[in-house]
């Protein structure tokens, strides 16, 4: 167990608890809990979005993917700027202008409220919960490796902290935890890149030549860092993965919700631009320096591999091992704490989005038909947070050691094929009807889940069948096409029923 | 698009440049997605500055959209309130 890592871990927890304490003193209304009263500035919100978006998968997963699969990690890296630029150009203004607490509020502005809230809150909950579960299972394993804490206790610590931040400090605490994490991550990754470059006298050529030589030894016949093919994708799988990532991010409830925390559309635009700049910086540093350095410097260094040649703690640890190699135990401790802060910020954002779907969309608007008092809604929000915390602990323990990575692509595919088409058609197509939304949303949701179950990740690896019925592990593109087709087709067939709802929507916009 | 909604005659030049940049970047992203399985040798070939074409493409997908985003923030149309 690394004493410095434990000290940094304790410092991160202490900082976040202090943030929660002060946030709780300024959080009392439903608007405070859901959107921090809409008073976060554009730059603050941009950093918080970056903190919300960059999960452990960005810091540890992308580096590991470059280490294992080489150039193909570019698909994951390039999806982020595309998503953020579309957020800015297509959605930021309208999200701020039309939304109140959740993205479902926007749909309910112009579509029949009860069915659309039930559907969209369900899809939001499904995608956020899947994402949350992956984060918590990953967090448990990571905290166990980084700090030597037992997996069960690690899951309980992460879940307890996430419930505490969100249920006590609401969106304000979540925002500042995410800002703190984003700053820590930006500083940590910059220092890691600097120390890495210093170890090769700031000569990129040396780094790349070493990486190419090591990669050639490992691969035996080709340099995967420059020659694509490490993930073994065909063209449809590649398109489905890439577009699923982009549109999945555009439909992610925890990211969408952040656009309601700023006072106006200008600040919403600024949020998207700041977040994009921060994410692009981190992505490029990882893709061009840190990822390459793991191949160049770690390979052949037996201190970081076991007797069978497997990376100690698994391949997701290569970024942390690199930190120790170039910066010693102190920097290892710092980067381990940064990774932990990364996890906390993301799970807090996901918990907030999931709890809001339960308390605002389902309880306050559907069950209580808008008659719940502010106090009752806040109480339900806090109950939902505790419920989610307990659920996540139970699921985290049940799925210990399981490969749940496919749930990330499933979560993003659900968001891409339900939340995103519902939102974009609501915002841009006046002919969109409630029937089109309901049928298209259901088709998107069921197609995604069916194709994932019939695909290799579940049908072969979990259910142990010999061959997958649906050959691709990336269903997003197919489900999106199906959802859009049904939404547009049914809306055209039922266009007469849309008129009264459209008129009320237009009136609210004028 | 935002300008059309606001009823102005023509979008400002900076706004058109920003949109064009984003459209090209999206096209490059889709090209990258298709080239990874279909044209790996093309991406692996050397390009300028010691970079491969693939690495250059990754830079082109990242840097111009960020510039376009800031151009849009400071020179784009006022958002509809």
Nearest to A75 among B33, B41, B73 (CB): B33
Torsion of CA A387, A391, A393, A397, to 10 degrees: 170
Q: Enumerate the residues of chain A whose CB falls inside 8 A of the CB of residue B26.
A: 82
Q: Spell out which residues of chain B touch residue A231, defining contact as CB-CB under 8 Å.
A: 36
State the pLDDT confidence band at A139, using cuts at 50, 70 and 90: confident
Is A386's Cβ below 8 Å from some Cβ in B?
A: no
Residue B39: pLDDT band (50, 70, 90) is: very high
User: How far apart are alpha carbons A158 and A397 in whole angstroms?
Assistant: 12
Residue from the list B37, B43, B76 with its beta carbon closest to the beta carbon of A238: B37
Residue A46's closest CA among A253, A276, A266?
A276
Quick one: pLDDT at residue B7? 45
pLDDT at A200 over 80: yes
Chain segment A415-440, per-residue pLDDT in tens? 999 999 999 999 988 889 999 999 99
pLDDT value at position A415?
94
pLDDT at residue A221 above 50?
no
Nearest to A280 among B29, B44, B66 (CB): B66
Average pLDDT over residues A260-285: 95
Nearest CA in chain B to A83: B26
Question: How many angstroms away from the CA of A284 is the closest CA of chain B?
Answer: 8
Chain A residues touching B66 at Cβ < 8 A: 81, 273, 276-277, 280
- Three-class DSSP labels, chain B: CHHHHHCCCCCCHHHHHHHHHHHHHHHHHHHHHHHHHHCHHHHHCECHHHCEHHHHHHHHHHHHHHHHHHHHHHHCCCCCC
Distance from CA of A93 to the nearest CA of B (A): 6
* Residue A240, pLDDT above cutoff 60: yes
Q: Which residues of B touch A233 (CB under 8 A)?
A: 36-37
**Res B10: pLDDT:** 61
Eight-state DSSP code of residue A73? G
Q: Residue A471 has what pLDDT?
A: 87
pLDDT at B66 over 90: yes
Residue A42 contacts B where some CB pair is shorter than 8 Å: no
A139-155: average pLDDT:
83
Mean model confidence pLDDT for chain A:
88
CB contact under 8 A, A78 and B44: no
pLDDT in the model for residue A450? 94
- Nearest Cβ partner of A78 from B44, B50, B61? B61
Q: Output the pLDDT for position A209.
A: 82
Ramachandran angles phi, psi of A56, nearest 5°? -60, -25
Please tell me the predicted confidence (pLDDT) of residue A272.
95
Q: What are the tens digits of pLDDT across the range A294-328?
A: 988 988 788 888 888 888 878 888 998 999 999 99
Residues of chain B contacting A, Cβ within 8 Å: 1-2, 18-19, 22, 25-26, 29-30, 32-38, 40-41, 43-44, 50, 52, 54-55, 57-59, 61-63, 65-66, 68-70, 72-73, 76, 78-81
d(CA A17, CA A166) in angstroms, rounded, equals 11
Q: What is the DSSP string of A8-24?
A: HHHHHHHHHHHHHHHHH
The reply to whether residue B32 touches residue A75, judged by beta carbons under 8 angstroms, is yes
Query: Mean pLDDT over residues A277-289, rounded?
Result: 95
Best residue in A41, A62, A85, A203 to probe B by mutation, most B CBs within 10 Å?
A85
Q: What is the pLDDT of residue A51?
A: 92
> Does residue A431 contact residue A490 with C-beta atoms inside 8 Å?
no
Q: Which domains does chain A have, with CATH numbers?
A: 3-401 (1.20.1730.10)
CA A416 from centroid of its chain's CA atoms? 13
> What local confidence, expressed as pLDDT, does residue B11 receive?
65
Average pLDDT, chain B: 83
| Mean pLDDT lowest among A98-102, A113-117, A349-353 | A98-102
Mutate to test the interface with B, among A238, A240, A278 (most CBs of B within 10 A): A238
Range from A217-221, A500-504, B20-24 carrying the lowest mean pLDDT:
A500-504
Predicted confidence (pLDDT) per residue in A446-488, tens digit? 999 999 899 888 888 888 888 999 988 889 999 999 999 999 9
With an 8 Å Cβ cutoff, are B58 and A269 in contact?
A: no
Check residues A19 and A497 and name the one with the higher pLDDT. A19
The distance of B56 to chain A (nearest Cα, Å) reads: 11
Contact by Cβ (8 Å): A196, A289: yes
Q: Do A75 and B68 touch (CB under 8 A)?
A: no
Q: How far is A223 from chain B (nearest CA, A)?
A: 9
State the pLDDT at residue A219. Answer: 55
> What pLDDT does A216 receive?
67
Instruction: Give the ipTM of the model, two decimals please.
Output: 0.87
The percentage of chain A sitting over the pLDDT mark of 70, rounded to a whole number, equals: 94
At residue A137, the 3 state secondary structure works out as helix
Q: Is pLDDT larger for residue A432 or for residue A99? A: A432
Residues of chain B contacting A241 with CB distance shorter than 8 Å = 33
Quick one: average pLDDT of A252-262?
A: 93
Tell me the chain B residues in contact with residue A283 when contact means C-beta distances shorter than 8 Å: 62
CB contacts < 8 A, A to B, total 134
Q: Judge contact between A445 and A418, C-beta under 8 A.
A: yes
Q: Using a CB-CB distance cutoff of 8 angstroms, which residues of chain B are in contact with residue A229?
A: 36-37, 40
Does A330 contact chain B (CB < 8 Å)?
no
Structure tokens at A498: 């849309």
Mean per-residue pLDDT for A335-356? 88
Question: For every residue of A289-330, which 3-state class applies, written as one string?
Answer: HHHHHHHHHHCCCHHHECCCCCECCCHHHHHHHHHHHHHHHH
**Among candidate residues A105, A498, A138, A181, the one with its CA nearest the CA of residue A348:** A181
Nearest by CB to B58, from A204, A265, A287: name it.
A287
Note the pTM of the prediction, 2 decimals.
0.90
Distance from CA of B48 to the nearest CA of A (A): 14
A128 touches chain B (CB under 8 A): no
Read off the pLDDT band of A498 (50, 70, 90). low
Higher pLDDT, A445 or B78: A445
pLDDT in tens, A388-413: 999 989 988 888 777 666 777 788 89
pLDDT in tens, A161-195: 989 999 999 999 999 999 999 999 999 999 999 99
Contacts of B41 in chain A (CB under 8 A): 227
Per-residue pLDDT band for A220 (boundaries 50, 70, 90) equals very low
Q: In chain B, what residues touch A287 (CB-CB under 8 Å)?
A: 58
Decide if pLDDT at A289 tops 90. Answer: yes
Q: Check CB contact of A219 with chain B, cutoff 8 Å.
A: no
């Amino acid at each position: 167990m690394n004493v410095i890592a434990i000290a940094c871990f304790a410092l991160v927890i202490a900082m976040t608890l202090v943030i929660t304490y002060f946030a709780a003193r300024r959080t009392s209304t439903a608007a405070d809990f859901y959107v921090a009263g809409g008073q976060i500035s554009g730059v603050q919100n941009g950093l918080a979005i970056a903190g919300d978006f960059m999960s452990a998968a960005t810091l540890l997963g992308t580096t590991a993917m470059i280490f294992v699969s080489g150039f193909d990690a570019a698909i994951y890296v390039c999806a982020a700027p595309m998503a953020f630029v579309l957020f800015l150009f297509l959605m930021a203004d309208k999200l701020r202008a039309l939304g109140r607490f959740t993205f479902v509020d926007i749909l309910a502005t112009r579509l029949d409220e009860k069915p659309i809230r039930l559907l969209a809150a369900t899809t939001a909950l499904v995608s956020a919960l899947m994402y949350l579960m992956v984060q918590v299972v990953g967090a448990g394993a990571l905290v166990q490796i980084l700090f030597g804490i037992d997996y069960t206790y690690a899951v309980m610590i992460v879940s307890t902290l996430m419930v505490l931040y969100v249920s006590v400090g609401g969106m304000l605490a979540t925002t500042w935890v995410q800002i703190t994490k984003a700053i820590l991550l930006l500083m940590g990754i910059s220092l890691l890149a600097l120390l890495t470059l210093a170890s090769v006298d700031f000569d990129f050529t040396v780094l790349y030549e070493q990486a190419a030589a090591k990669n050639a030894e490992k691969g035996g016949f080709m340099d995967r860092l420059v020659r694509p093919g490490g993930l073994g994708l065909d063209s449809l799988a590649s398109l489905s993965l890439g577009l699923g990532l982009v549109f999945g991010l555009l439909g992610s409830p925890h990211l969408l919700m952040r656009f309601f925390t700023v006072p106006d559309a200008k600040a919403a635009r600024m949020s998207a631009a700041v977040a994009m700049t921060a994410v692009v910086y981190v992505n490029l540093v990882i893709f061009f320096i840190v990822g390459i350095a793991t191949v160049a410097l770690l390979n052949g260094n037996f201190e970081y591999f076991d007797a069978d040649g497997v990376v100690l703690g698994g391949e997701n640890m290569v970024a942390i091992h690199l930190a120790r190699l170039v910066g010693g135990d102190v920097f290892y401790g710092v980067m381990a704490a940064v990774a932990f802060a990364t996890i906390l910020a993301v799970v807090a954002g996901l918990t907030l989005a999931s709890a809001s779907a339960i308390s605002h969309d389902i309880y306050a608007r559907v069950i209580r038909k808008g008659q719940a008092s502010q106090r009752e809604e806040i109480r339900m929000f806090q109950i939902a947070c505790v419920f989610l915390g307990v659920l996540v602990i139970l699921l985290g323990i049940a799925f210990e050691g399981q490969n749940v990575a496919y749930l990330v692509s499933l979560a993003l595919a659900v968001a891409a094929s339900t939340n995103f088409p519902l939102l974009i058609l609501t915002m841009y197509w006046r002919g969109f009807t409630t029937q089109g939304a309901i049928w298209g949303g259901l088709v998107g949701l069921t197609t995604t889940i069916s194709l994932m179950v019939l695909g290799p990740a579940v049908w072969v690896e979990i259910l142990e069948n010999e061959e997958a019925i649906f050959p691709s592990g990336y269903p997003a593109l197919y489900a999106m096409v199906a959802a859009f087709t049904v939404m547009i087709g049914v809306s055209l067939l039922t266009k007469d029923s849309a008129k009264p709802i459209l008129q009320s929507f237009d009136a609210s916009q004028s | 698009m935002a300008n059309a909604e606001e009823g102005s005659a023509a979008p400002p030049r900076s706004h058109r440049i920003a949109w064009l940049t984003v459209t090209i970047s999206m096209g490059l992203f889709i090209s990258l997605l298709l080239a990874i399985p279909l044209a790996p040798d093309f991406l692996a070939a050397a390009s300028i500055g010691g970079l491969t074409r693939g690495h250059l493409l990754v830079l082109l997908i990242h840097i111009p959209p960020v510039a376009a985003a800031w151009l849009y923030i400071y020179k784009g149309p006022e958002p509809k309130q």
